Amino acid sequence: MFQRLREDVNSVFHRDPAARNTFEVLTNYPGLHALLCHRFSHWLWNLGLKWLARTFSTIARWLTGIEIHPGATIGRRFFIDHGMGVVIGETTVIGDDVTLYQGVTLGGTSWNKGKRHPTLGDGVVVGAGAKILGPFEVGAGAKIGSNSVVTKAVPEGATVVGIPGRVVVKRKDEDSVRRKEMEERMGFDAYGVTEEMPDPVARAMRSLLDHMHAVDDRIENMCKALRKVNSEYQNGELPPLHEEDFDCVRDDEPTQR
């Protein structure tokens, strides 16, 4: 029991930079309180004491603002950050190292008995306000963007955003390599946000990098053709790019939680 509690506390430190010490985590993190209460109510539920389990989970909801049905199955190192408004349905199955943020709903879309809530694989992260509705699986390592509404299965490692939720398509590997090479030449990182997230500025920067790379290729091919026509043709040196030239598109100020 104490080993599990130690894991729970450590998971808070690993995923919340605002956590300062163990006493603070044990006394001021409603997500941890809700998880501990759920373990007891889940134990009662499995013993067949359904009413008592539901009553205890209701008390936990009053105290924490987090509703976890005692029938839900939750793995190790589960972390609910902030927590207010989180709802986890009866037939939900949650793997290890899963993180939920405030306002998340793991709900059902049917009144039928049996499996009607989602299954979350190991390492899934669900952003604030997201709704995952239905008896399908969210693959290990998947990320669900804030306020997304997901109603169908999510592949492992995918990122889902929007209403209805859609998997963000990743570029081909060769495109990513080209962009990284261009970034190094330009002296700044165009991927200040997560590469998979559809940030409009990031999309614009990626398009510019792709276009610049295509222009470079075309110019290089033209130079090769000119050298074949005139062996004395010499390429002129391109002006260097300096990091300070791109200060206007950088944000070096650290973000605070």
The domain segmentation of the chain, as residue ranges, is 2-167, 173-249
Q: pTM for the whole thing?
A: 0.64
Q: How far apart are CA 225 and CA 61, in angstroms?
A: 73
Full pLDDT tens readout for the chain, 257 residues: 677 888 888 888 888 888 888 898 889 889 899 999 999 999 999 999 999 999 999 999 999 999 999 999 999 989 998 889 999 999 999 999 899 998 999 998 888 888 999 999 998 989 888 999 999 999 988 888 888 899 999 988 888 888 888 887 554 555 556 555 655 554 433 323 344 555 556 667 667 777 887 888 888 888 888 778 777 766 666 666 666 665 555 555 444 44
Architecture of domain 2-167: 3 Solenoid (2.160)
Residue 176: predicted pLDDT: 56
